[in-house]
Amino acid sequence: MRITKQRETILEVLRNAGRPLTREEILKKGRQQMGRLGPATVDRAIREMTADFYVVGVEFPGQPRRYELPAESEHPHFICRGCNRVFDLPIKMQLPEINPPSGFKVSGGEIIYSGTCPDCA
Ligand SMILES: [Zn+2]
C-alpha cells in the first residue's frame, strides 16, 4: 500500500486521539492538520487502510462505525453517554468463549462499559 500524505495524516490523527474515532471525527481532526482533506479521500483511505489492517473498525450496536489503530491485545471500550465518545480501556481482556444458539454464526464481540467522561460528568 502506498502511504500518501493523507493516510499519514489519518494515522497521526488516530495515534494522537488514542481512542476510536468516527469518520466525522477523523475528517474534522484531519482538516486541522491538512485543510484540503476531503470526505471522499478520507473514506477511500479508511477503506483501504482497514483492508490492509493499518486501521481496525470498531462496531457497537446502534453506533456509527469507529476506527482505531490495531491494538496489541483485545481490550474493552468505554462509551460516554453524554458525548458519545468512545475510549480504550488499557486492560487485557479476553472475550469469553460462547456457544451461540443453534443456527447462529458469531462474527465478532465487544466488551463495552458505559458512563460519563470527565468532560460530561
Ligand atoms: Zn463525554
pLDDT tens, residue by residue, 106-121? 877 788 899 999 999 9
Tell how far the Cα of 64 is from the centroid of ligand 1, in angstroms.
16
Tell how far the Cα of 120 is from the centroid of ligand 1, in angstroms.
4
Tell how far the Cα of 61 is from the centroid of ligand 1, in angstroms.
18
C-alpha cell at 4: 500518501
Q: What are phi and psi of 25, to 5 degrees?
A: -65, -40
Domain annotation covers residue 104:
no
Tell how far the Cα of 52 is from the centroid of ligand 1, in angstroms.
31
Residue 112 near residue 79 (C-beta atoms within 8 A) = yes
Domain annotation covers residue 100:
no
Domain annotation covers residue 35:
yes
C-alpha cell at 106: 458469531
Domain annotation covers residue 117:
no
pTM (2 d.p.):
0.77
Tell how far the Cα of 78 is from the centroid of ligand 1, in angstroms.
10
Tally of structural domains, the chain? 1
Domain annotation covers residue 14:
yes
Domain annotation covers residue 83:
no
pLDDT tens for 61-104 read 788 999 999 877 788 899 999 998 999 898 888 888 889 999 99
CATH of the domain at 10: 1.10.10.10
Rounded to whole angstroms, the Cα distance separating 121 from 108 reads 31
| Three-state DSSP state, 32 | helix
Tell how far the Cα of 121 is from the centroid of ligand 1, in angstroms.
7
Domain annotation covers residue 89:
no
